[in-house]
Amino acid sequence: MTSVTIAKPQSLYVGVHKHRWWKEAVVYQIYPASFLDTNGDGWGDVPGITKKLDYLKSLGVDVIWVSPIYKSPQADMGYDIADYEDIDPSYGTLGDVDNLIKEIKKRHMKLIMDLVVNHTSDQHAWFLDSRSSKTSPKRDWYIWKPARYDSSGNRQPPNNWALILGEANSAWTWDETTQEYYLSLFTPEQPDLNWENPAVRAAVHDILRFWLNRGCSGFRMDVINLISKVQTYPDAAVTVPSHTYQPGDKYYANGPRLHEYLQEIHDRVLSKYDTLTVGEMPFVRDEAEILRVVGAESRELNMIFAFDLVDIDNVPGDFKFTLHKWDARDLKRIVNRLQRLMLERDGWNALFVENHDQPRSVSRYTDDSDEWREYGAKLLCLMQTTLAGTLYVYQGEELGMRNVPKSWGPEEYKDIESINFWKKNNTMYPGDEEKLSHARHILHLKARDNARTPMQWDASPHSGFTSPSSTPWMRVNSDYDHINASSQLATPNPTPGTLSVHAFWQRALASRKANKDVFVYGDFEMLDMEHRSVVAYKRWSADKSFITVLNFSGGNVSWKGLEGVRVKKWVAGNYDERELGNKGMGGSVDLRPWEGVLGMLE
């Protein structure tokens, strides 16, 4: 067990003086199809976002990140873009976006857009031109390769890379017209752009300028570390022998020219504006590689989404739809590594446990049963709001929304990744009830659909997401009658000494801002790395220090990690806070199931 040690003052000042608005910002991610529908078509829209700006401002949000609203055939819910400079009619018009930006600025908030430039839709004008002929001037805007042939003369893809959103299939798609394959890492409807071509890069720069000049304040950059591929396109090692196609990320993630491309974006576009930039970077674990992107002097991006925490329950080296046991020790290793890395080497973290590509955090990391859901949601809030980095909150996270019910059949899952996974299992194990039951279990735990059910605004039909007579694009989680924004706003103190999940988040965000010298810019030390249930750490600035203690288990724990320090006052907790004065102030502290407490140290 590790006791708390007081750091020497000079250890405080790694980047502490480098204050930036985007470091202190609370970013709220909106998945627009599921946020709020104002025209009764069952699909969320831009005016729906505008309508809820006061709700977001009141919560404590500074920046709104909107998942793609560009023109799209919606093969992958808008991440397949057909026109970067227009809005899909299902969401509204460019005029609606201009009004949204105006209203956001009126409330002293900012908007960041979702930039998806590793690939386009197969309906984008660039790709329609590219696939029209081998001599098309846009042919080399995408990645085309001739077929390989096996010993029997059967046509095969150029290599053995697996599709990311359907690992039973190849990442290459055959084009009958021109008799070649094109690379499409995610789905056949999402061909990868060829970033080796300077004309492609210039076109991307123009897209950024278009939105920045319109009033956007930055970008979340979708899978941005995949834009440079190893140009020999070699076969991937066989790590999943049961599958024909293999994870190929060694050759398409963080490729040889990634940093050159990111610096070019920075130097030619981003450096001319005051922006927040966050890169989605799956597959990368190498610390030096991360720092090359987010280091304060790197001239690339402000921060990245590291996937370590949301990959905690994946079998290492296998595909996403696998189950891997973990405990608090694993979580501590991840958090400690990323917190210390950015402090010591002058980088910056993006804090998140939930987004549109992940299951609900209260279901994944805690116990989402009716008995424990609120405790788990507040436990995660206490962790997120007391770590260093820019904080990202996903819609509904502030209410403790949870995964879809186990009773839902596979037909309720709308996501292309879920559909492909269920199809793969039915193909591999037809009629095998045990295997298919296990596949359903994995879907329930890990499908992206879990985060995409409509936002639960109130207890009216369809949770107030759309009109009572409309049919929502995706089924509303059936717990909306008691888990919704309206009830939590109306009853911020459901029982004496407690807060609703929403009120708990609201207070925690205000506390984070009031104590930004500690929680945003302060130093960090993880405690008791080997305890299997408790995650505890200390945060401090030049004149204040706090300790966060979190029980990531459903059992009672007496944690003896307070040796060497004394708690001046326990200031927050996810149980009845009238009892905080009874907590141990030194030596040990007793924790109930899923209990989290925040203390000010002497």
pLDDT digits 0-9 by tens, 198-227: 999 999 999 999 999 999 999 999 999 999
Per the listing, tokens 């424990």 go with: 372
Which positions are annotated as active-site residues?
222, 280
Co-location of 303 and 368 in the same domain: yes
Q: Report the pLDDT averaged over residues 111-117.
A: 98
564 lies in a domain? no
Q: Is the pLDDT of residue 12 over 80?
A: no
Residue 318: which pLDDT band, with cuts at 50, 70 and 90? confident
Q: Are residue 166 and residue 156 in the same domain, yes or no?
A: yes
pLDDT of residue 14: 55
Tell me the pLDDT band of 15, cut-offs 50, 70 and 90: low
Among 138, 156, 183, which residue terminates a domain? 183
13, part of any domain? no
In a domain, 395, yes or no: yes
With residue 590 as reference, give the H or E element that holds it.
strand 587-591
For range 525-540, the mean pLDDT:
97
**Is 520 contained in some domain?**
no
Q: What total number of domains does the chain contain?
A: 3
What pLDDT is attached to residue 7?
41
pLDDT tens per residue, range 488-523? 999 999 999 999 999 999 999 999 999 999 999 999
The verdict on residue 310 lying in a domain is yes
Q: Identify whether 146 is part of a domain.
A: yes
pLDDT at site 316: 87
Rounded mean pLDDT, 181-197: 98
Percent of the chain with pLDDT over 70: 97
pLDDT level of residue 13 (50, 70, 90 thresholds):
very low
- pLDDT band of 373, cuts 50, 70, 90: very high
Does one domain contain both 358 and 403? Answer: yes
Residue burial 246-283, b: 16+ Cβ < 10 Å; e: rest: bbbbbbbbbbeebbebbbbbbeebbeeeebbbbbbbbb
Q: Give, in degrees to the nearest 5, the angle at Cα 472 between 471 and 476.
A: 120
Q: Are residues 169 and 205 in the same domain?
A: no
In terms of pTM, does the model score above 0.75? Answer: yes
439 and 465, same domain (yes or no): no
The Cα-based distances of 158 to 67, 168, 176, 180, 233 in angstroms read 32, 16, 15, 9, 8
Q: What does DSSP say about strands 172-175 and 180-183: parallel, antiparallel, or unpaired?
A: antiparallel
**Is the same domain home to 397 and 418?**
no
**Rounded Cα distance, 469 and 116, in Å:** 34
User: 439 and 459: one domain?
Assistant: no
Check: CB of residue 496 under 8 Å from CB of residue 518: no
Instruction: Give the CATH number of the domain where residue 130 resides.
Output: 3.90.400.10
Q: Are both 357 and 327 inside the same structural domain?
A: yes
Residues 210 and 327 in one domain: yes
**Residue 365: inside a domain:** yes
In terms of domains, do 60 and 112 share one?
Answer: yes
Alpha-carbon span 485 to 512, nearest angstrom = 22
The stretch 260-287 carries a mean pLDDT of 96
Min mean pLDDT across 5-14, 46-55, 121-130 is at 5-14
Q: What percent of the chain lies above the pLDDT cut of 90? A: 94
- What single DSSP character describes residue 403? P
Dig out the tokens for 365 from the structure: 């990391």
Q: Which of 219, 163, 146, 229 is nearest to 195 (CA)?
A: 229
State the DSSP string of 54-90. Answer: HHHHHHT--EEEE---EE---TTTTSS-SEEEEE-TT
Q: Which of 421, 446, 471 is the last residue of a domain?
A: 446
For residues 177 and 266, state if they share a domain.
no
Q: What is the pLDDT of residue 4?
A: 41
Domain extent at residue 172: 125-183
319: pLDDT confidence band, cut at 50, 70 and 90? confident
Looking at the structure, tell me whether residues 162 and 240 fall in a common domain: no
Residue 211 lies inside a defined structural domain of this protein:
yes
